[in-house]
Structure 1
Amino acid sequence: MDDVRPRLPQNSDKFIPSVRRHIRESGLAYRTEQTYIHWIKRFIHYYKLRHPQEISLGEVEAFLSYLSVDCNCSVNTQRIALNALVYLYKRFLGVDTSNIGFTPARQYRRLPVVYSREEIKAIVSRLKGVYRLQVELMYGSGLRCAELLSLRVKDIDFGSNNVFVRAGKGNKDRTTILPQGLISQLHKQIQHVELIHAGDIEDGYGDVYMPDALERKYPAAAGTTAWQFLFPASRVAPCPRSGVIRRHHLHPSALAKQLRRAVREAGVKKPPRAHAFRHSFATHLLEVGYDLRTIQELLGHSDIATTEIYTHVVNRGGKGVLSPVDRL
């Protein structure tokens, strides 16, 4: 349950719990909280556990330059660290950070990993059961791994042929397409969830984790089938927030392990990444003529420039240019 916010100690004056509480009061996503706390801790350890109030902005600049020059971090990693430290100093400590200067990391354009249709068929054929369905759904709907695992039974709408993505990246909701070829498998998966849920109720459990304040607003909803995770974990565990024994969703490491094995057995030489199926979804839609705006909405990109990266990897025979060697 590492995607569930743990309960903070009451009346603690320790530094990190105080920062966590401030982040939560600001309404930031838990993934953002985890990232910011990681970089704040790394920053503090870099300066031998000194309190940030004793660390000057010049030393903040030195740390950011260190990430670029000595650690060879990418520009995105450096930017994330900058965002975390700006939040720490500007919003938590009330220090003006407008004049921070540092050595920026070099920015390179990296193309996404995209599997061909033949590679996807080879990978999927070596997956079984729920892991095969998960990969097919990521590729068929363009889901991120975290979005896939967070799906509830109610998020699969067979009537409108939509998959509802709740609180995706940027805490945004969206809809994407429900692959027709997966409908029967999804019905079977929901029946499987119903059996597991019935067993949990008999064992005295059955309530699932509810986000935000929905547990107070809809106290009976946590025990319904509709709110159960579409891909439930194999066993129950205590919730880090409340301590209540619950069944959460499958851990992403289980899917990653199966995916590495399938990619290796399929003889695919590209990295075994779950996110590559989302990239493949966008690229293959672009190849068959769908416009960027439609793909942007399905992927949930806020900026179409993010979606335009797929125009650089789409299979159009080298941007439509015939190689000179093919004319020999």
Structure 2
Amino acid sequence: MLDVPTLVEQARQGRPRAVARLISLVEGASPQLREVMATLAPFTGGAYVVGLTGSPGVGKSTSTSALVSAYRRAGKRVGVLAVDPSSPFSGGALLGDRVRMSEHAADPGVYIRSMATRGHLGGLAWAAPQAIRVLDAAGCEVILVETVGVGQSEVEIAAQADTSVVLLAPGMGDGIQAAKAGILEIGDVYVVNKADRDGADATARELNHMLGLGESRAPGDWRPPIVKTVAARGEGIDEVLEALEKHHAWMAEHGVLADRRRRRAAQEVEHIAVTALRERIGDLHGDRRLDALAERIVGGTLDPYTAADELVAGLTDGR
């Protein structure tokens, strides 16, 4: 058994190996996970979480790396969770975004972790919320969460980030993708990357038009800006940073930031509770109580919904 308080203290001192051990405990659903989260709790709540999403090929990793550089120039400690598809062989992260962000590898003010989705849909890893807490407690002032980039199931990032950045690129049909994927509803800042390509202005105009069509904002509401960048050359990144800072300030002023974080915590609790219930139900397979309910359904004396209510009541009452 690991000495969790010592490990947490080492992580708070910025020791990368301690942070890595804690995130590994999270990903592996360790029996000590409850102790880890309880020990971390007093040290969380200070980090600004920025999610970056978009279709494959828009330059999410390059943009993330450029944002890391910009935040480091501003003197911020930065954590990066780069969510990759799972390897079909090991279950681990397949692409390994740390390779693409190797320029930051030697910087003690940056912690980069690739996480595997392990079959979880929505563009994130199931352990992402707890991993964000680890980085938060470890002193990261900004946490960048880069989603897996699978096209049309990316909207989950909106539930995990304070600010969601949606990246598009010209010549990829991203206008249609944006409309289909529902990302017009989740974006707080839109970035048209690879703006040195033909069609960048048209992509920005199309996006602006679609945002206008779906607009139902009251005076004073946030209107997502559209920023054009060439992330590979660092062009436009300062403008993205400025947009992020403005959104952060607007959320703090209007109480949106606290509300988003409360909703995020509520969803996390709900997910943990549902997972615990599902495990308990799984333990019932072959149990006489479940068989008895099934027999009554087959015999026509009980319907499945009433049976489910009885099962849930029995689980929550501890019977």
TM-score by length of 2: 0.26
Higher strand share: 2
TM-score by length of 1: 0.25
